[in-house]
Structure 1
Amino acid sequence: MSSSKSVSKMKRYIEEDRPRRLRTYVKKHHIQLCDVTLNKGRNLLHYCCKYGSGATMKYLISEGVYCIVQDSSMNTPLHLALDRALRLEEEGESALTTQCKYMKNYHLYMLLAGDSYTEMILPLIERFPGSLDMRNKAGETCRSLLHTLVQKRESAKGNEVHTAFTHSEFFVVRVYDFMSYETENETYNDWADRIREEFYARKRAQSQQYQRTETGRKNSKRKHSDSGQPEDEELKNARAKMRKKYEENRQKDKEMDVLKKRMKYEQRYRKLLDCDSIHMLGFDDIPWPCTKGQENDMTVLFEGMDRTEVGYKKYLRDQQIRWHPDKFMQRFGQYLDSADKDRIVQRVTVLSQNLNKLVT
C-alpha cells in the first residue's frame, strides 16, 4: 500500500510527464504500480490520460498497469483520453470565437488534439482493442466517442483556417481504420494484428527512408570532399531548404512544448482552487508556472503570445492579480507550511515583480 505522500509525488511526476523521475522514485521506494489506487477507483493510467502524459503512459503500460480498469463512473483510461481530445477540439474552436482570436493558439490546440490521438488513444486501442465497446455509466462507448472526434475533425476540415493541418490527415485515416471494423469480416484478434502490423510497417518505412536520406547525404558530402570540387548548386539549394524546414519544425515543436506547459500549469492551479479541503502546502505543492525554476516562469506564461492583442493584456492582468503577494497570502497564507513559507513568499514576490515589468 502506497502512502498518501508517495501517491502525491507520483501524481506530480505524471502531471509533468516525467517517466524517468517516476521510474527512479518507484524503484527507490519499491512501489508496485499495479496496486496503486486513486480516488474514484482510478489507477495511474486513468491519471495519465486525464493529463495527456503520453510518455508516462507508455512507461506504465510497459510495467503491466492494466488498461481496462473502470472507475466509479465506469470510465476506462481510453474514455478519459478521448474526453481530453474532444475537450481540446472544443477549446481550439472557442479560440476562434473569443475576442482574443489567437490563430496561433487555435493551431496549437488542434495539434495537441492530434497528439492526444497518436500518443494516447492509438496505443491504448492497439493494446486493448476490446475497450472500444466498453460502456461507462452515461452509456457512452469509446467507439462512439471516437466517432464524435472524427466528425469534429471532418467539420473543421472545411474551415479555411484548418488547412494548416492537412499534414495531419493521418489522424482521420487511422481513426477510420478503427471505425470501419466489421465483425463479420474478421475477428477482433485478426483486426488488432492487422492494425498493429500496419502501424509498425509505417514506422519501419519512415526509419528506412530517413536512413537512406542520411546515407545519401553523407556519401555526397564525402564524394565532393575527396574530389575537391565545389558542391553542386542544386545540392546547396536543397540543403538550404532542409535547414529552413528544420528550423520551422523546431519552432513549432518549441511553441507546442510551451503551450503544453502552460496548459498543465493552469490545470494545476484550477485543481488547487477546486480542492474541497486544502492540506498544508509545501514549496513543491504551489502550482508555479514552471516547475523547474523561476527563471522560466515568464517563458511558460507568455511565449508565443502577441503583446498587441487584447487577450495578452487580459491574461497578464489575471496573472498579476493571481501572484500579487497580498492576494496570494489572503488566498493561501493559512495553508503554507511554516518550513517553506519564507521561500514561497520570496518566489511569489519575484514572480509578481517580473509580471509588473511587462506592463508598458
Structure 2
Amino acid sequence: MSRPSETNPEKEWLEKLFGECEDEFYETFGVYDDDDFLPVDDDEEDFGDWADRIRKEYFDKKHAEAQRLAAASSGWKKKKSKQEREQEEKSRKELSEKLQREHEEYLARAARKEEETRQGKKRRYDERCAATFSGGSSADSAKLSYSDIPWPAPRGTVQEMVDVMLHGVDRKDVPAFRKMLRKQQALWHPDKFAQRCEARLEEKDKQRILDTVTALSQELNRLAQSLRA
C-alpha cells in the first residue's frame, strides 16, 4: 500500500489564495501583463515568492485604503463631535440647572414641612402643659400615667424633648433664649413638678415619670450653665 503524500498547508493556502483571489487582484491592482504575474524564470521568482508578493501588495493596498477612509471619517467625526459637544454641553448645563432648581425647591418644601411639624409639636406641647398642670396637686384629680404627662416628644429622647420645648426661640438672642429656658426649668424642676403632680401619678408609672422629669431638668440646667460660660 502506498503512503499518501504529505501535504504542505502553507502551499495549499497559497494555491487557494491564488485560485480564489486572482480576479480581485486584477481588479485591485489594474490590468497587468502576464509577465508581471507569472514567473518567467524559476530562479527569479517561484510560485511561493510570487504569492507572498501578491499577498503583501494586496494587504498593503487594503491597509492604505482603510487608513484613507479612517482619516476621512475621523475628520467628519471630529467636525460632528464638536457640534455635538456644544449641544451636549448646552443640554448638560440646562439639565444641571433644572436639577438644581428642583433640588432647591425640594429642600424648601422639606424645610417648610419640617417647620410646620415642629410648630405643631410645640403648640400641642404648650396646650397639654396648660391642661395638665392647671389641675393642681389634689389627689382627687384624674390620675396621670406616663402617657398622660405632656412630654414634648412622647417617644423621643431627652434632647428631642428639649428641642421641642425651646423651638421658635433664636438661640443667638441670648436674653430671649434665657427667658424661655428659665420658664421650662421652672416647669420641669423635680421639686416643683412633684408639688403639682406627684399625688396624681399612677403608682406603676411614678418612678419612670420622675426619672424622666429629672433627666429633662438636668439637660435644661446644662443649657443654662452653657450660657453663663
TM-score, normalising length from structure 1? 0.35
For residues 237-252 of structure 1, what are the structure 2 equivalents within 5 Å?
Answer: 237-252=97-112
Larger Rg: 2
Structure 2's unaligned 5+ residue stretches are 1-87
Mapped pair 1:287 → 2:150:
yes
Tell me the SS of whatever aligns to 1:339.
helix
For residues 1-360 of structure 1, what are the structure 2 equivalents within 5 Å?
Answer: 231-275=91-135, 278-295=141-158, 296-309=160-173, 310-359=175-224, 360=227
| Residue correspondences, number | 132
Could you tell me whether the CA contact under 8 Å between 2:133 and 2:196 is conserved in 1?
Answer: no
Structure 1 residues 275 and 329, CA gap change in structure 2 (3 angstroms):
closer
Could you tell me whether the CA contact under 8 Å between 1:255 and 1:303 is conserved in 2?
Answer: no
Q: Which whole-Å CA distance do the structure 2 matches of 1:302 and 1:327 have between them?
A: 20
Letter in 1 for 2:147: D
Q: Which whole-Å CA distance do the structure 2 matches of 1:313 and 1:275 have between them?
A: 27
Q: Which whole-Å CA distance do the structure 2 matches of 1:273 and 1:330 have between them?
A: 10
Could you tell me whether the CA contact under 8 Å between 2:125 and 2:152 is conserved in 1?
Answer: yes
Overall identity of the aligned pairs, in %: 33
Letter in 2 for 1:307: R
Tell me the SS of whatever aligns to 2:184.
helix
1:285 offset after TM fit, Å? 1.0
Structure 1 residues 330 and 275, CA gap change in structure 2 (3 angstroms):
closer
Q: Which whole-Å CA distance do the structure 2 matches of 1:305 and 1:318 have between them?
A: 13
Structure 1 residues 329 and 275, CA gap change in structure 2 (3 angstroms):
closer
Could you tell me whether the CA contact under 8 Å between 2:133 and 2:197 is conserved in 1?
Answer: no
Tell me the SS of whatever aligns to 1:340.
helix
Letter in 2 for 1:314: K
CA distances 1:174-232 after superposition (whole Å, capped 9, x unpaired): xxxxxxxxxxxxxxxxxxxxxxxxxxxxxxxxxxxxxxxxxxxxxxxxxxxxxxx5652
Letter in 1 for 2:198: G
TM-score, normalising length from structure 2? 0.53
Letter in 2 for 1:308: K
RMSD of aligned C-alpha atoms? 1.9
Q: Which whole-Å CA distance do the structure 1 matches of 2:123 and 2:167 have between them?
A: 13
1:311 offset after TM fit, Å? 2.7
Q: Which whole-Å CA distance do the structure 1 matches of 2:129 and 2:101 have between them?
A: 42
Letter in 2 for 1:247: L
1:304 offset after TM fit, Å? 4.8
Letter in 2 for 1:322: L
1:303 offset after TM fit, Å? 3.8
Provide the residue aligned with 1:182 in structure 2: none
Could you tell me whether the CA contact under 8 Å between 2:122 and 2:167 is conserved in 1?
Answer: no
Provide the residue aligned with 2:33 in structure 1: none
CA distances 1:22-55 after superposition (whole Å, capped 9, x unpaired): xxxxxxxxxxxxxxxxxxxxxxxxxxxxxxxxxx
Letter in 2 for 1:288: W
Q: Which whole-Å CA distance do the structure 2 matches of 1:315 and 1:264 have between them?
A: 17
Relative contact order, higher structure (CA 8 A, sep 6+): 2
Q: Which whole-Å CA distance do the structure 1 matches of 2:220 and 2:202 have between them?
A: 25
Q: Which whole-Å CA distance do the structure 1 matches of 2:142 and 2:170 have between them?
A: 38
Tell me the SS of whatever aligns to 1:292.
coil
Q: Which whole-Å CA distance do the structure 2 matches of 1:301 and 1:318 have between them?
A: 10
Structure 1's unaligned 5+ residue stretches are 1-228
1:239 offset after TM fit, Å? 1.1
Q: Which whole-Å CA distance do the structure 1 matches of 2:168 and 2:96 have between them?
A: 32
1:292 offset after TM fit, Å? 1.8
Structure 1 residues 358 and 268, CA gap change in structure 2 (3 angstroms):
same
